[in-house]
Structure 1
Amino acid sequence: MDEPVSGLRRVPLRTVEVARESGYSVQQVRDLERLGVIPPAARASNGYRSYTPLHVQALRAYRGLAGAAGPVTARQLLAGLRTGTLADAASAVGAVHLRLAREREEALDAQRALRAIQAEVDGQDHEPVSDAMTITQLAEALGVRPSTLRFWEQEGLVSPERVTSLHVRRYGPSAIGAARIVAALRGAGYGIPAVREIMSSLRSLDGLEKAALVLQQRLDQIAARTVTLLRAGADLAAVVTSVQEAGPTSVG
């Protein structure tokens, strides 16, 4: 566990000290400062950078956010924390939590769809995944664009079970289940060829086991990202509080 930043007695801090306490290298600290993750450090009379313990907390907060939501989102969020209100900060962090919760629910939906396919293979009765959906309804349920579903159709990953004379696509329970699995696999980082291979083998035991393993790994990854975000909470709160006390200008 990281040593509390309050234990840092020396102020101002040198770049090497900030690097050691934040877990980044000296060059990474400078790069993250250049990218705006932390505000510019003050400069001493000899030209050396001069940081504060709050810069360390900002870097730790960034590490947690990057692990939970990716570096681009983390950079944007940290920059917003220094210029927005307390309500803005709470909303931004809450949005990351909601995103993780949605990703978890999508993976669980895919697991349920996979169990339905397993039941079909085993000849067992099972509840239908859902009623039929239009392409717009399914895209909204999956959090993707209709064009994404059309692309998956072109790639042979998901096919509508009926296309009307007006070219309106209708997705039945089987297609909806397949789409949920494809969405989870894509979310886990699998490329189109790998997803196609898994989807084409779902009627075999090996294919079912592989898909089940991938989905469980996806859930484990989301859980780890959630814990990472929770661990960053104290550092995020410190950054937000300091900005509100000093005004939206810096953390130094």
Structure 2
Amino acid sequence: MRPADLAREHGISAQAVRNYERDGFLPPAERTRSGYRIYTEAHAAALRAFLALVPAYGHSAAGEIMNAVHRDAVDDALAAIDRGHHQLLRDRATLDAVRRAVDHLTAESGAAPAPAADGTRTIGELAHRLGVTPATLRNWEAAGILTPARDPATGHRVYRSADLRDAELAHLLRRGGYPLDHIAAVVQRIRTAGGTGPLAEALDEWRRRLTARGLAMLTAATHLGACLNGGPPGPSRP
């Protein structure tokens, strides 16, 4: 097969196929004496797998997975997939926690948040919990998303239960592509326990995105399995 033959199935350009080979997403192609690439069904299967992995795990992780597959590091590929599933599960748990917080704040308007079960957190501890950098948390503070108190003795930031809630919400919405000013407005609405309509819409949209990502993971698993097994998707073989 030629690059155009692989590209046609997915509505992409032949150059994109060549770029995917260059980046290690497809196995290296043999060449004719005149230098033209020769693609096989193995390349077609790898392309289907890569393009199915992108909506499931993101472009970077999809490339990491396929590069691992082509260097016979299947365990590395599976570890990247495991991280994607772990992140999806964490996103679902965070979304549920935020929705519960919003429901509670709506029902108990003006009530102070209950103390966190594990006490306060430092900026380093909160950054580690979310998987972001302390600089990111300082940026969120500058945008009005976080309002940590200061330890009177040291001057260091102290994050309490309400700050943890706001940080989890910011992290969730940032992964959903929302800008900082939008997130700051949503967090402010939570703090005042009023006007939760926009927040409910944002959470519903993120729920739909999580569902779509989970379904994409199932599709990607089918195509990646076919790529590893050297054949088109079909009934499971014993």
Match of 2:137 in 1: 149
Question: What whole-Å deviation, never above 9, does each CA across 1:99-142 have from its counterpart, x for those lacking one?
Answer: 22222222222222222322332x6x898373332123333332
CA distance in 2, matches of 1:129, 1:213: 28
Match of 2:233 in 1: none
Which residue, out of 115, 121, 133, partners 2:120?
133
CA distance in 1, matches of 2:108, 2:139: 27
Match of 1:199 in 2: 187
Amino acid at match of 2:152: T
Match of 1:7 in 2: none
Identify if the C-alpha distance between structure 1 residues 92 and 204 changes in structure 2 by more than 3 Å, giving closer, same or farther.
closer
Match of 2:39 in 1: 51
Identify if the C-alpha distance between structure 1 residues 168 and 47 changes in structure 2 by more than 3 Å, giving closer, same or farther.
closer
Which residues of structure 2 form unaligned runs of 5+?
231-238
Q: Give the alignment's Cα RMSD to 1 decimal.
A: 2.5
Question: What whole-Å deviation, never above 9, does each CA across 1:227-246 have from its counterpart, x for those lacking one?
Answer: 1121011221233345xxxx
Identify if the C-alpha distance between structure 1 residues 169 and 120 changes in structure 2 by more than 3 Å, giving closer, same or farther.
farther
CA distance in 2, matches of 1:67, 1:234: 14
Amino acid at match of 1:201: R
Shift of 1:47: 4.0
Identify if the C-alpha distance between structure 1 residues 44 and 157 changes in structure 2 by more than 3 Å, giving closer, same or farther.
same
Shift of 1:143: 2.5
CA distance in 1, matches of 2:130, 2:76: 27
Match of 1:24 in 2: 12
Which residues of structure 1 form unaligned runs of 5+?
1-12, 243-252
Amino acid at match of 1:194: H
Asked whether 1:236 is paired with 2:227, we answer no
Shift of 1:192: 1.5
Checking the alignment, whether the CA contact within 8 Å between 2:95 and 2:203 is kept in structure 1 is: yes
How many matched pairs? 227
Which residue, out of 7, 10, 14, partners 2:2?
14
CA distance in 2, matches of 1:57, 1:66: 15
Match of 2:81 in 1: 93
Identity %: 31
Checking the alignment, whether the CA contact within 8 Å between 1:57 and 1:238 is kept in structure 2 is: yes
Shift of 1:204: 5.9
Match of 1:35 in 2: 23
Amino acid at match of 2:16: Q
Amino acid at match of 2:132: V
**What's the secondary structure of 1:133's corresponding residue?**
coil
Match of 1:6 in 2: none
TM-score of the superposed pair, with normalisation by structure 2: 0.82
Question: What whole-Å deviation, never above 9, does each CA across 1:20-75 have from its counterpart, x for those lacking one?
Answer: 33453323212222222112322234543221112111111111221122212211
TM-score of the superposed pair, with normalisation by structure 1: 0.78
